[in-house]
Amino acid sequence: MREQKVHIDWQYEGATDYSAGTGAYPTERMLAMLAALVVPGFVIYLIVSGQVDWNVLQVIVVMLMAIDISGGLVANALNSCKRFYHTPPKPSEGRLGVILKHPVVFSLLHVHPIVAGLLLDEWNWLYGVSWYGFFLVAVGMVLFAPLYLRRPLAMLWIMIAVLVNFYVIVPVEGLEWLMPLLFIKIIYGHLVREEPYRKLPS
Protein backbone atom coordinates (compact mmCIF):
# COMPACT_ATOMS: atom_id res chain seq x y z
CA MET A 1 0.00 0.00 0.00
CA ARG A 2 1.40 3.38 -1.01
CA GLU A 3 2.25 5.71 1.88
CA GLN A 4 -0.17 8.62 2.09
CA LYS A 5 0.90 12.20 2.61
CA VAL A 6 -0.43 13.76 5.80
CA HIS A 7 -1.03 17.27 7.07
CA ILE A 8 -0.78 17.48 10.88
CA ASP A 9 -1.99 20.76 12.36
CA TRP A 10 -2.51 21.64 16.03
CA GLN A 11 -3.75 25.19 15.36
CA TYR A 12 -7.43 26.11 15.21
CA GLU A 13 -9.63 29.18 15.11
CA GLY A 14 -13.31 30.05 14.97
CA ALA A 15 -16.34 29.97 17.24
CA THR A 16 -15.80 27.75 20.26
CA ASP A 17 -17.26 24.29 19.71
CA TYR A 18 -17.11 21.87 22.66
CA SER A 19 -18.90 19.05 20.84
CA ALA A 20 -17.02 18.59 17.56
CA GLY A 21 -14.02 20.78 18.37
CA THR A 22 -13.47 24.33 17.18
CA GLY A 23 -12.64 24.48 13.50
CA ALA A 24 -14.21 21.14 12.63
CA TYR A 25 -14.95 20.53 8.97
CA PRO A 26 -18.66 20.27 8.06
CA THR A 27 -18.11 16.59 7.30
CA GLU A 28 -16.68 16.04 10.78
CA ARG A 29 -19.67 17.73 12.42
CA MET A 30 -22.08 15.77 10.25
CA LEU A 31 -20.41 12.49 11.15
CA ALA A 32 -20.76 13.21 14.87
CA MET A 33 -24.39 14.28 14.43
CA LEU A 34 -25.27 11.12 12.53
CA ALA A 35 -23.46 9.01 15.14
CA ALA A 36 -25.57 10.64 17.85
CA LEU A 37 -28.62 8.90 16.36
CA VAL A 38 -27.26 5.34 16.49
CA VAL A 39 -27.67 4.37 20.15
CA PRO A 40 -30.94 6.33 20.53
CA GLY A 41 -32.22 4.33 17.56
CA PHE A 42 -31.55 1.09 19.42
CA VAL A 43 -33.13 2.53 22.59
CA ILE A 44 -36.28 3.37 20.65
CA TYR A 45 -36.32 -0.19 19.32
CA LEU A 46 -36.11 -1.55 22.88
CA ILE A 47 -39.01 0.66 23.96
CA VAL A 48 -41.23 -0.05 20.95
CA SER A 49 -40.58 -3.80 21.10
CA GLY A 50 -41.48 -3.90 24.79
CA GLN A 51 -38.10 -5.14 25.96
CA VAL A 52 -37.95 -2.40 28.59
CA ASP A 53 -40.65 -0.83 30.73
CA TRP A 54 -39.52 2.70 31.59
CA ASN A 55 -41.55 5.67 32.75
CA VAL A 56 -41.39 9.03 30.97
CA LEU A 57 -38.57 10.39 33.16
CA GLN A 58 -36.49 7.26 32.65
CA VAL A 59 -36.99 7.40 28.88
CA ILE A 60 -35.88 11.04 28.78
CA VAL A 61 -32.76 10.36 30.86
CA VAL A 62 -31.81 7.27 28.86
CA MET A 63 -32.24 9.14 25.58
CA LEU A 64 -30.04 11.99 26.81
CA MET A 65 -27.33 9.53 27.88
CA ALA A 66 -27.68 7.65 24.60
CA ILE A 67 -27.24 10.82 22.53
CA ASP A 68 -24.26 11.90 24.64
CA ILE A 69 -22.51 8.53 24.46
CA SER A 70 -23.36 7.81 20.83
CA GLY A 71 -22.36 11.18 19.43
CA GLY A 72 -19.51 11.76 21.86
CA LEU A 73 -17.84 8.45 21.10
CA VAL A 74 -17.40 9.42 17.46
CA ALA A 75 -16.84 13.13 18.15
CA ASN A 76 -13.91 12.39 20.47
CA ALA A 77 -12.23 10.53 17.62
CA LEU A 78 -12.49 13.52 15.27
CA ASN A 79 -9.25 15.27 14.41
CA SER A 80 -10.94 18.54 15.36
CA CYS A 81 -11.65 17.22 18.87
CA LYS A 82 -8.15 15.83 19.28
CA ARG A 83 -6.80 19.24 18.26
CA PHE A 84 -9.18 21.15 20.52
CA TYR A 85 -8.99 19.08 23.70
CA HIS A 86 -5.26 18.35 23.58
CA THR A 87 -4.15 21.96 23.36
CA PRO A 88 -4.20 24.57 26.16
CA PRO A 89 -7.39 26.62 26.59
CA LYS A 90 -7.44 29.97 24.80
CA PRO A 91 -8.46 33.20 26.58
CA SER A 92 -11.54 33.43 24.36
CA GLU A 93 -12.78 30.06 25.69
CA GLY A 94 -13.18 31.48 29.20
CA ARG A 95 -13.56 29.56 32.44
CA LEU A 96 -15.73 26.90 30.81
CA GLY A 97 -12.92 26.14 28.39
CA VAL A 98 -10.47 25.71 31.28
CA ILE A 99 -12.89 23.34 33.04
CA LEU A 100 -13.86 21.20 30.06
CA LYS A 101 -10.32 20.99 28.72
CA HIS A 102 -9.10 19.50 31.98
CA PRO A 103 -9.17 15.74 31.32
CA VAL A 104 -9.82 14.75 34.95
CA VAL A 105 -12.70 17.20 35.36
CA PHE A 106 -14.16 16.21 31.99
CA SER A 107 -14.05 12.56 33.03
CA LEU A 108 -15.54 13.23 36.48
CA LEU A 109 -18.57 14.81 34.82
CA HIS A 110 -19.50 11.45 33.28
CA VAL A 111 -21.64 10.19 36.16
CA HIS A 112 -23.71 8.03 33.80
CA PRO A 113 -23.33 4.76 35.78
CA ILE A 114 -24.50 6.42 39.00
CA VAL A 115 -27.53 7.88 37.22
CA ALA A 116 -28.25 4.51 35.63
CA GLY A 117 -28.02 2.63 38.91
CA LEU A 118 -30.19 5.06 40.87
CA LEU A 119 -32.84 5.94 38.31
CA LEU A 120 -33.16 2.74 36.30
CA ASP A 121 -32.17 -0.04 38.69
CA GLU A 122 -34.18 0.69 41.85
CA TRP A 123 -31.57 2.88 43.56
CA ASN A 124 -28.78 0.42 42.98
CA TRP A 125 -25.89 2.32 44.57
CA LEU A 126 -23.59 -0.69 44.24
CA TYR A 127 -23.86 -0.73 40.45
CA GLY A 128 -23.32 3.01 40.12
CA VAL A 129 -20.47 3.38 42.59
CA SER A 130 -18.70 0.22 41.41
CA TRP A 131 -18.70 1.25 37.77
CA TYR A 132 -17.93 4.91 38.46
CA GLY A 133 -15.01 3.96 40.69
CA PHE A 134 -13.70 1.46 38.16
CA PHE A 135 -14.05 4.09 35.44
CA LEU A 136 -12.08 6.68 37.43
CA VAL A 137 -9.31 4.17 38.17
CA ALA A 138 -8.99 3.60 34.43
CA VAL A 139 -8.92 7.38 33.84
CA GLY A 140 -6.12 7.80 36.36
CA MET A 141 -4.08 4.87 35.05
CA VAL A 142 -4.21 6.17 31.48
CA LEU A 143 -3.65 9.85 32.30
CA PHE A 144 -0.64 9.29 34.51
CA ALA A 145 1.02 6.80 32.18
CA PRO A 146 3.80 7.92 29.82
CA LEU A 147 2.39 9.20 26.54
CA TYR A 148 3.75 6.25 24.57
CA LEU A 149 1.79 3.82 26.75
CA ARG A 150 -1.56 5.62 26.90
CA ARG A 151 -3.09 4.16 23.75
CA PRO A 152 -2.35 0.49 24.55
CA LEU A 153 -3.34 1.03 28.20
CA ALA A 154 -6.63 2.56 27.07
CA MET A 155 -7.33 -0.47 24.91
CA LEU A 156 -6.47 -2.79 27.81
CA TRP A 157 -8.94 -1.02 30.11
CA ILE A 158 -11.65 -1.11 27.44
CA MET A 159 -11.14 -4.85 27.03
CA ILE A 160 -11.38 -5.35 30.81
CA ALA A 161 -14.51 -3.18 30.97
CA VAL A 162 -16.22 -5.24 28.27
CA LEU A 163 -15.45 -8.46 30.15
CA VAL A 164 -16.59 -7.00 33.49
CA ASN A 165 -19.80 -5.84 31.81
CA PHE A 166 -20.41 -9.38 30.51
CA TYR A 167 -19.38 -11.48 33.49
CA VAL A 168 -19.00 -9.49 36.72
CA ILE A 169 -21.31 -6.49 37.11
CA VAL A 170 -24.79 -7.27 35.82
CA PRO A 171 -25.81 -4.45 33.42
CA VAL A 172 -28.95 -2.41 33.94
CA GLU A 173 -31.63 -3.83 31.66
CA GLY A 174 -31.66 -1.92 28.38
CA LEU A 175 -28.30 -0.27 29.15
CA GLU A 176 -26.00 -3.16 28.32
CA TRP A 177 -24.26 -0.78 25.92
CA LEU A 178 -23.57 1.96 28.47
CA MET A 179 -20.27 1.10 30.11
CA PRO A 180 -18.40 -0.41 27.14
CA LEU A 181 -19.29 2.63 25.01
CA LEU A 182 -18.50 5.07 27.83
CA PHE A 183 -15.05 3.52 28.20
CA ILE A 184 -14.44 3.82 24.45
CA LYS A 185 -15.67 7.42 24.44
CA ILE A 186 -13.55 8.66 27.36
CA ILE A 187 -10.71 6.24 28.08
CA TYR A 188 -9.65 5.98 24.46
CA GLY A 189 -11.43 8.72 22.56
CA HIS A 190 -10.94 11.60 24.98
CA LEU A 191 -7.81 10.79 26.97
CA VAL A 192 -5.47 9.50 24.26
CA ARG A 193 -3.55 12.23 22.48
CA GLU A 194 -3.21 11.54 18.75
CA GLU A 195 -2.06 13.51 15.72
CA PRO A 196 -4.82 15.79 14.41
CA TYR A 197 -4.92 15.57 10.62
CA ARG A 198 -6.30 18.14 8.21
CA LYS A 199 -7.05 17.96 4.54
CA LEU A 200 -3.97 18.34 2.38
CA PRO A 201 -3.58 21.89 1.03
CA SER A 202 -4.74 22.07 -2.57
SS3 48: helix
Q: What is the tally of helices (H) and strands (E) in the chain?
A: 10, 2
Please work out, in degrees rounded to the nearest 5, the angle formed at the alpha carbon of residue 110 by the alpha carbons of 128 and 72. 130
| pLDDT string in tens for the chain (202-residue length) | 566 789 999 999 999 999 999 999 999 999 999 999 999 999 999 999 999 999 999 999 999 999 999 999 999 999 999 999 999 999 999 999 999 999 999 999 999 999 999 999 888 899 999 999 999 999 999 999 999 999 999 999 999 999 999 999 999 999 999 999 999 999 999 999 999 999 988 7
pLDDT value of position 2: 65
Please work out, in degrees rounded to the nearest 5, the angle formed at the alpha carbon of residue 65 by the alpha carbons of 76 and 87. 25
Query: Which residues are CB-neighbours of 25 under 8 A, at least 6 positions away?
Result: 80, 199
